[in-house]
Amino acid sequence: MNFNQLWVLAPFSIVILIIAYLEIMMIYIFIYPEEKEILLLILHHLLLLAVIYSFYKTSTTKPGTPTQTDTEGDPLTTQRKTCKFCQHNKPVRCHHCRQCNKCILRMDHHCPWVNNCIGQNNYKYFFCLVFYATLTSVVYFCIYFNKILKNPPTGNIDTYFIIFAATLSFTLMIVLFLFLAFHTKLISNNQTTLEYFEKQREHYNKDIVSNFNEFLGPGCWLIPN
């Protein structure tokens, strides 16, 4: 196995290990759950299923590559740059991804956590992944924090495992919330991550509903379909 293969597997392995640890601790806490706790567990695992499904769709859905029809009707086609790697005319908001070695329509960024580019065709799945992962981390933290409040640390080894789980879930909650807020802002401004950091001069901002419809599609924005 070469370095590139390890680089691809490492982020995925970290995600699996984190989820596995938090779930094992969840099982340990709720060996004999009460009625209210059962409802909380059902909610938690519904959110976790949404995370897993969104992760799968984000990872396996092709982000979209340009074809001849993507430049038809573009009044600025002759002014668009030709990709020096693909030798194709770049449609509006198209960028070349060196990791995937191809041009991506409305490319947002290359995400090593899902081993895929985030572009026009899978951005909604990515946003849903971040949204439901944020909610799931909130539930994780609330459960572990509540357990610590009910049973303050006594020095037993299991207590420290629970404290670590609470700390881990709190860290994930903060990081994911900031990431979700960032992408919500990008969508509301009709901007991609690349456009934000490159400070491109072209602006595509419309009204906020039209912006969200363009990125997440019409209908319910938070259903990964």
Q: Which residue among 97, 103, 111, 117 is the active-site one?
A: 111
Where is 111: in which H helix or E strand?
strand 109-111
Paired with 97 in beta bridges are 102
Q: Identify whether 111 is a catalytic site residue.
A: yes
- Cα–Cα distances (Å) from 136 to 42, 152, 193, in that order, read 12, 24, 24
Q: Which residue has 């909650």 as its token pair?
A: 173
Structure tokens, 70: 């993507």
Cβ pair 106, 93 in contact under 8 A: yes
Provide the strand spans (E) within 52-97. Answer: 95-97
Residues designated catalytic = 111
